[in-house]
Structure 1
Amino acid sequence: MLFLTAVAGDILQPGFYGNTCPKAESIVREEMRKTMLKEARSVASVMRFQFHDCFVNGCDGSVLLDDTPTMLGEKLSLPNIGSLRSFEVVDNIKEALEKACPATVSCADIIIMASRDAVALTGGPYWEVKLGRKDSLTASQKDSDDIIPSSTLNATSLIDLFKRFNLTAKDMVALSGSHSLGEARCFSVTDRLYNQSGSGKSDPAFEPIYREKLTKLCPSGGDENVTSGMDATPRVFDNRYFKDLVSRRGFLFSDQSLFTSPETREYVKLFSENQTEFFNAFAEGMVKLGDLLSTKPGEVRLNCRVVNQKAS
């Protein structure tokens, strides 16, 4: 957090690659379109990179770095291992951009563009992205462990966490709507089903029929890698996520707490009733999230998984 700056307006700008790589955004969009046709789940995975990257020392592509003998990166941090996937999609985008415009488009900017396109291609809003980020020279597993929010946090804790990044309670609820896309593992819900807060019982916030459905999908002692959509339309970006929360059919504890908490309930109700309000708030939140920058030195990586080799 000591290295973050929110003055992105002075650094980032729409159309940053207009002269140096004018087809950059269309190349990213086409690669994301091909990814969606090949494996629909992957677009949701790519969208999550923006959250897991920007929260950890700013939007700098650090989440994409592989471990080295001298550095433990973020891919195997507790919040990321088993949940982040589809890194090869970013590799494919980078390869296409390197062919068109060598050593020009940063991996950090690829994440921002691809996240926007993941949402737009699945029915969600489209927004103008600000670009011009540099890629970090290092990554930190510890920082990722410390800052990425857990699915066990309640609404109050989430509000406090997002506030540290100049994101409001409304921003937090809207950005939680990213769970409109994609799936989560049974691992993330077994405590809610069988031992909520160490009680040995199910979370009383569950709607009974939904709880019964989940106990069949995720039996106690069963395969915790089985996945479920986090709302009823996991391949479409819409406001169904919020409708499900109102119906007490939230998959994660952190999701359902947005409706059970009086601090955030009104935003959930607003977004469940007005999809346009949700889309506008989500786009605004993603722009604000993308404005989190690191003040550390950076570069444009040629390979998103490793830092560039310095000439001797």
Structure 2
Amino acid sequence: MNDTVIDMIHEDALPGHESALDPKPDWEPRYPGSGRLAGKVAVITGADSGIGRAVAALYAREGADVAILYLCEHDDAAMTADIVRQEGRKALTIAGDIGDKDFCTRAIAEVIDTFGHIDVVVNNAGEQHPDKDITDITEEQLKRTFQTNIFGMFYMVQAASPHLKSGAAIVNCTSVTMYQGSKELLDYSATKGAITAFTRSLSENLVSKGIRVNAVAPGPIWTPLNPMGGATPEKLETFGEDTPMGRPGQPNEVAPAFLFLACEDASYMSGQVLHPNGGTVVNG
């Protein structure tokens, strides 16, 4: 892992420790499992906290073994692994930067060595840095945001695709900002637009192989991403209040969308985006 990259990301305290948040995000699955992912192996990036942790917990409850990919928050990743194991499933933690193609190749090789196969890839990891003016976005930040948010998805799929068979699923995390825009998240929103286009195009590319590709576009969700530097203090004061529901969402309100798209319930869906966003109506 490149220490310079880690230091740069941590300029805003990112990715951020979930254990430091108050109140804590709700990650716990809300219902008993029904075996919808029994015998499956899922690779989830950014699974140490936030939406990724909630997805890992729900996937494990539904019968999947989970590879937890994360950047550097080892305590959070260890807790997610414990959550998976408490559901009776196997967990593998792998630390590194998904913006590094070699790391993605090594990580997928480790997953195959450990579990023997991959059935679901969840491209969830992302970063954001608020800037009030486009001239405030440094060249380094611009490159870094794209490297994590969209290059990392390309690298993960390139590494995983030789191991995906008919019936496999890829679920990407885009954002409501792709549809609404965000005046303080110009580079982040641009990457989310790229992710939506990537999802639709990758679906066209893989659907004949029986591999489905879909995405989830969350609205404002209470995770470490925003309070640990991904939003301005002014934005945090009213975080989520501008949604029709008048509040931010919780990770366990988003995870079921990732489950639906990963399992056979969504067998006739590919190239689509689900919108757990608090009631905001978008065209897409």
TM-score normalized with structure 2 length: 0.29
Higher relative contact order (CA 8 A, sep 6+): 1
TM-score normalized with structure 1 length: 0.27
Q: Which has the larger radius of gyration?
A: 1
